[in-house]
A and B are shown apart, each in its own frame.
Chain A
Amino acid sequence: MSVLVLVEHDGGQIKDATLATVTAASKLGEVHVLVAGGNEAVTQAASNIAGVARVYAASGPPLDHQLAEAVAPVVAKLMEGRDAFLAPATTTGKNIAPRVAALLDVMQVSDILSVEGPDTFTRPIYAGNAIATVKSNDPKKVITVRTTAFEKASAEGGSASVEQVDAGSDSGGSSFVSLEASESERPELTSAKVIVSGGRAFGSSEQFHSLLDPLADKLGAAVGASRAAVDAGYAPNDYQVGQTGKIVAPQVYIAIGISGAIQHLAGMKDSKTIVAINKDEEAPIFQVADIGLVGDLFKIVPELTEKL
């Protein structure tokens, strides 16, 4: 059985999400990967991933920005004679995989947490309030992978052969205009080892940043926010951790002034250690926190920043 994994990259580097997806795929069969729209460096990095047996590289103008309309037909073609396609459940993967699934007439298994058998998987439903075990009756599987649920494959140790494949010439009626990248010196939320995250209790955008940014800098941490804080305008949307934002699982997650709504917990409850700081000792966040401190964040955060 051979399976195809979509390599997530930014044109120069492979994203960690790819490595976790390779781990999930290796439970199903021999892992082949597709680099769509990458350069030499990305292709080389893909062939170095431990456990990858073959790399397919497709490049050409329609694939330059990895738009779903152009990538999906390339994947669908490679799926002839293969049993499963896996993509990370990132915005790129979620954009492309269902399009592939429809081209293959397959119902996608979304956001899997585990591989229970060749056709059986677990996945979160209802914002992570329930876990479904599902069996796919389709002859081919199309799967997106919750990358925090799988260990990352080693980025080194592989020496897969590389084969160029046709990139096609049709952009499918879609064209890239621009990417406004979030600029930050800090690590990305989804790959950070430590995250400090703020809620509505900060009261304003100024206080959110003036208190959290120095703490994050001290810890080398990424900054996240609850949906309530984002909706209140204290932080931009790409800070949002939760079911409708980013799913994270750092070594340490420090939730400050976050009550712990279900929708937020769904995005961070797989963190290794959860620290909660909240003035309400009844806040639901304390039910999932490993370490809790009850008190006023406006006093605690500056003191913590100073003492660390």
Chain B
Amino acid sequence: MKLLVAVKRVIDFNVKPRVKMDGSGVDLANVKMSMNPFDEIAVEEAIRLKEKGVATEIVAVSIGPAKAQETLRTALAMGADRAILVQTDEEVEPLAVAKVLAKIAEEEQPGMIILGKQAIDDDNNATGQMLAALLGWPQGTFASKIEVSDTATVTREVDGGLETVKLNLPAVVTTDLRLNEPRYASLPNIMKAKSKPLATKSPGDYGVDVARRLETIKVTEPAKRQAGIKVGSVDELVERLHGLGIAK
């Protein structure tokens, strides 16, 4: 079975995002960029499925600027077999990403598509579900465990605990943090990744209009909380808590 994994180039999760003075967005100039952490988990899961003999080929896809090639090379260095960059300088929303991925899925006919549950920049948590809807496939979102036979059994992290669903294949799965711990690419594999095939396409090649549906009016910093007081002892803390009306 072929697997498709989608990866996004985003601000590194260790970097504190700064809002631009003019309120037009978050400043990404000279900021370290990396693969979206949830997508790293998706790539890792695909590789594990290949190592188990369930998957035969892993195709990594990214939709983004020319530099998203680096993100795809990371996926290739981790163990993906080939990559497709759908290059655009537009900021592409989840709906348009899902439309491009749906077209690629029609061409590639994967048995499963694995994506991160959300990107840590726009925090939409939507692409996987939209992709599943467009393809008419079942979806296993927020996965903490995936078992594949002739169906996929996916354990999902839900508010009340863990829900397990069985999905007919092909299916879309989105990853949660618990699913696995992604490997680091070894130096030889990083070198090898440079010669793995990477095709460059454009959204137009897939006939997808990536024009934004949401207009960003402004981006601001969140309201700051003021630091309060420090108390000197547990007795004083107890008094304050009683003052708040708790544990009386």
User: Which residues in A have some Cβ–Cβ distance to B below 8 Å?
Assistant: 10, 65, 67-69, 72, 90-92, 94-103, 105-111, 120, 124-138, 172-182, 188, 190, 193-194, 218-219, 227, 237-238, 243-244, 246, 251-252, 262, 269, 273-275, 277, 281, 286-294, 300, 303-304, 307-308
Contacts and interface: CB of A to CB of B under 8 A. Distances in A.
A307 B216 contact: no
Contact of B238 (A108, A182, A304): A304
Interface stretch (B62-70, B129-137, B187-195): B129-137
Given A180-B161, A304-B234, A130 B214 contact: no
B164 A177 contact: yes
Contacts, number: 252
Contact of A133 (B134, B160, B218): B218
B90 interface: no
Given A107-B213, A129-B222, A173-B171, A95 B141 contact: yes
A262 B13 CA distance: 10
B61 to A, nearest CB: 18
A91 B234 contact: no
Main secondary structure of the interface of A (DSSP, over half): mixed
B199 interface: no
Contact of A72 (B127, B133, B230, B236): B133
Main secondary structure of the interface of B (DSSP, over half): mixed
Interface stretch (B45-53, B71-79, B104-112, B118-126): B118-126
Contact of B221 (A131, A262, A300): A131
Q: Interface size bucket, B side?
A: 35 or more
Which of A95, A102, A269 is packed against the most chain B CB atoms within 10 Å? A102
Interface string B137-181: 111111010000000010011111111111110010000011000
B22 interface: no
